[in-house]
Amino acid sequence: MTFFSYQFFLAPTELHLNPKADQFSRVEWHLPEGCSFSPSQGPTHIATVRGPVRKILLGERVALNTLARCSGIATKCSRLLTLVRNAGYPNILAGTRKTTPGFRLVEKYGMAVGGCDMHRVDLSAMTMLKDNHVKSAGSITRAVKAARAAGGFAIKVEVECQSEDEANEAIKAGADVVMLDNFTGKGVKTAAASLKQRWKGRREFLVEVSGGLTETNVEGFVCNDVDIISTSSIHQGVPHVDFSLKIVG
């Protein structure tokens, strides 16, 4: 069942099926990907699937579950992106790699449809050094050096930092991205501004902020010195969009 064109919806929808068609299932979409609409006029007809009813029903639940999950993520992404844009944040809003095992690509696609950055699609996309990597290497400097040796010049290196001092060590060691993890809003603004000022003209790097960011607190972390805000709240525990499938005709 070729049914995987993920949509951004804000409300419950219905999917109508027509079994009186040729032997192969085909989908005709009535709304474009990424569109937003209101259910105020009742259920919305988003697509028509034509094909053998047995084949359609075999794929029904998998298709609806995928659409529901992906559309829920896209909806949440769009809502949070609108919130930070209204707060004056011009830079990147991203997800994380805390995705459902086996469903990562679908969830990442939902982030993209909702207007957010997917962050790393997989472990090969960028080397991220977290606290356990640093501890096992002995220091941030050693961990960055080892990552550079393993990944070569083509793979970016990001370091998760718990303090401004750790971020400075990471930048000095050659990290491309420093993540200020679990800082307060005030702490983020102070540290990000200090890092940009200290290394201006000496090092090129990005500042990412992450850790416990949600719709209720993210505005407090908004500042132009932050290049990336990343949060798993746009894809973990996100409500699904309610889709249904109806046979007509």
Give the least confident one: 26-30, 68-72, 81-85, 196-200: 26-30
Tokens of residue 42, six digits: 């009742």
- For residue 158, pLDDT over 50 is answered with yes
- For residue 180, pLDDT over 60 is answered with yes
- For residue 5, pLDDT over 50 is answered with no
What is the per-residue pLDDT for 145? 97
Q: What is the mean pLDDT of the chain?
A: 88
Closest CA to 96 of 217, 232, 239, 246: 232
- For residue 217, pLDDT over 70 is answered with yes
Report, as residue numbers or ranges, the catalytic residues.
98
Please, which pLDDT band fits residue 74 given cuts at 50, 70 and 90? very high
Tokens of residue 32, six digits: 């474009």
Extract the runs of DSSP E, i.e. beta strands, from 11-153: 13-18, 26-29, 45-50, 92-94, 127-129
Q: What percent of the chain has pLDDT over 70?
A: 88
Please, which pLDDT band fits residue 9 given cuts at 50, 70 and 90? very low
Q: Which residue has the higher pLDDT, 199 or 249?
A: 199
Rounded Cα distance, 94 and 186, in Å = 21
- For residue 10, pLDDT over 50 is answered with no
For strand 26-29 and strand 45-50, is the pairing parallel, antiparallel, or unpaired? antiparallel
* Amino acid code (one letter) for 221: F
DSSP string, 70-86: HHHHHHHHHHHHHHHHH
160 forms beta bridges with: 179
This prediction's pTM: 0.86
Collect all residues with Cβ–Cβ distance below 8 Å to 200 and sequence separation of at least 6.
none
What is the per-residue pLDDT for 167? 98
pLDDT tens-digit map of 95-108: 998 998 988 999 99
Rounded Cα distance, 78 and 62, in Å = 24
- For residue 14, pLDDT over 50 is answered with yes
Please, which pLDDT band fits residue 1 given cuts at 50, 70 and 90? very low
